[in-house]
């Protein structure tokens, strides 16, 4: 095909897309540096300042600080008065510096450098062999990154908004219930619940050694005696119908054997118990995903290749659901096949997740 036969307008659009995504990658790298070095917290509430003042405050080289600040101005995260004064607004601080704010958005980028570095270089071999990388092979950064990504919702919405929307769950938690969080990560969801409902008993089950280590560190910082974490390799979920409430937050699609996990949950839950699922908002296939017009779809497929699908293919016979593989239709079908009879979708206006209440 000669060049004259190509649609030049389409070529320019696609080339622009490449540079647009490269631009975003570089901005994320600078945001990572801003969080790692403490720029945003140092500027939060400090008012306008020069790069020299900021550098002295942080004990850093002014020339390096200046280049970083100028880039953040260009990206729209730092205000510039046109006369050498720079400011992180209260709105930007809510997104970039306040970990307790629901708008805080940068916790999940903690592990991006490793994903785009060491892990990315290992992924071509996964394409050749069909086997993915375990969650722990992503490093301790992954556990911290996932914690940072979901922490604002756990802190602001789980107890205050989500649990009251579930049928009869709050009443059981107040009275004293047995709760299990499968794929509990670093344990924040359970710790928030334990703080709100101290009469209940909480058990977190997790595969990742990095996540378990951090979960126990988080637990030690609270002093709670009614929370415990279990390595699922050694202590599996009891199949004794003893649990009033079971949680799975954004982990079913990562599992190598989600069908086995769902069957185990069915055996562990009481006849009148509740299973609360959070998982990625997506369609059942590519056609449905494109119809949804989800602006985060390219990001989700990327995370799937580097992390989610990789994890779900890291064991022989892995089902390989991937980040966009556990849609509402798939969730309803798989839970029904395990013996659950009630499935209800809930809308908490989360930008990435769907939520389901499932009962025996």
Give the CATH number of the domain where residue 81 resides. 1.10.10.10
Decide if 75 contacts 27 (C-beta within 8 A): yes
Give dist(CA 49, CA 52) in Å, integer. 8
> Do 85 and 128 belong together in one domain?
no
Residue 91 CB coordination number (10 Å): 10
Q: Are residues 89 and 128 in the same domain?
A: no
Do 209 and 329 reside in the same domain of the chain? yes
Distance CA 216, CA 238 (A): 21
Q: What is the full per-residue pLDDT of the chain (360 aa) written as tens digits?
A: 455 689 999 999 999 999 999 999 999 999 999 999 999 999 999 999 999 999 999 999 999 999 999 999 999 999 999 999 999 999 999 999 998 898 998 888 888 999 999 999 999 999 999 999 999 999 999 999 899 889 999 999 999 999 999 999 999 999 999 999 999 999 999 999 999 999 999 999 999 999 999 999 999 999 999 999 999 999 999 999 999 999 999 999 999 999 999 999 999 999 999 999 999 999 989 999 998 878 899 999 999 999 999 999 999 999 999 999 999 999 999 999 999 999 999 999 898 999 999 999
Q: How many other C-beta atoms are found inside a 10 Å radius of the C-beta of residue 292?
A: 14
Between strands 201-206 and 227-231, the pairing is parallel
On whether the CB atoms of residues 283 and 292 are closer than 8 A, the answer is: yes
Structural domain includes residue 105: no
How far apart (Å, rounded) are the C-alpha atoms in residues 298 and 300? 5
Residues 192 and 62 in one domain: no
> Residue 328 belongs to what domain range?
112-359
- CB crowding 160-192: b at 16 or more within 10 Å, else e: eebbeebeebbebbeeebbbbbbbbbbbbbbbb
Same domain, 326 and 285: yes
Statement to judge: residues 278 and 301 lie in one domain: yes
**Which of 68, 98, 128 corresponds to the end of one domain?**
98
Please state, in angstroms and rounded to a whole number, the distance separating the CA atoms of residues 19 and 67.
Answer: 21
Q: What is the pLDDT of residue 294?
A: 84
Chain centroid, CA 344 distance in Å: 22
Q: How many residues belong to the chain?
A: 360
How do 353-359 and 269-280 pair as beta strands?
Answer: antiparallel
177-198 pLDDT per residue, tens? 999 999 999 999 999 999 999 9
- The pTM of the full predicted model, rounded to 2 decimals, is 0.91
Indicate if 143 and 199 belong to the same structural domain.
yes
How far from 226 is each of 127, 144, 204, 324, CA to CA, in Å? 44, 23, 11, 34
* pLDDT tens digits, one per residue of 302-312: 999 999 999 99
Contact of 328 with 354, CB cutoff 8 Å:
yes
3-state secondary structure of 181: strand
């Amino acid at each position: 095909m000669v060049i004259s036969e190509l649609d030049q307008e389409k070529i320019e659009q696609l080339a622009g897309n490449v540079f647009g995504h490269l631009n975003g990658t570089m901005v994320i790298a600078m945001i990572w540096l801003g969080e790692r070095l403490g720029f945003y917290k140092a500027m939060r509430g400090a008012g306008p300042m020069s790069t020299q003042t900021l550098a002295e405050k942080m004990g850093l080289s002014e020339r390096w600080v200046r280049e970083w600040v100028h880039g953040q101005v260009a990206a729209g995260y730092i205000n510039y008065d046109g006369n050498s004064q720079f400011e992180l607004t209260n709105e930007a601080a809510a997104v970039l510096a306040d970990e307790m704010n629901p708008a805080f958005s940068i916790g999940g980028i903690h592990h991006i450098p490793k994903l785009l570095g060491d892990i990315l270089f290992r992924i071509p071999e996964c394409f050749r062999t069909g086997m993915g990388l375990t969650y722990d092979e992503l490093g301790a950064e992954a556990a911290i990154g996932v914690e940072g990504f979901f922490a604002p919702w756990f802190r602001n919405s789980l107890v205050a908004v989500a649990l009251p929307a579930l049928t009869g769950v709050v009443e059981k938690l107040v009275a004293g219930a047995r709760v299990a969080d499968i794929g509990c990560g670093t344990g924040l969801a359970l710790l928030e619940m334990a703080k709100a409902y101290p009469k209940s008993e909480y058990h977190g089950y997790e595969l990742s050694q990095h996540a378990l280590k951090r979960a126990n560190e988080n637990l030690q910082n609270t002093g709670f005696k009614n929370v415990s974490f279990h390595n699922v390799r050694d202590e599996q979920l009891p199949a004794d119908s003893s649990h009033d409430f079971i949680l799975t937050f954004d982990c079913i699609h990562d599992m190598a054997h989600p069908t086995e996990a769902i069957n185990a949950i069915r055996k562990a839950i009481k006849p009148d118990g509740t299973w609360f699922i959070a998982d990625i908002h997506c369609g059942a296939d590519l056609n449905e995903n494109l119809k949804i017009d989800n602006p985060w779809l390219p990001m989700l497929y990327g995370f799937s290749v580097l992390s989610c699908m990789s994890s779900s293919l890291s064991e022989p016979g892995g089902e390989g659901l991937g980040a966009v593989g556990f849609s509402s239709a798939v969730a309803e079908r798989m839970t029904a096949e395990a013996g659950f009879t009630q499935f209800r979708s809930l809308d908490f206006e989360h930008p990435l997740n769907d939520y389901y209440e499932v009962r025996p």
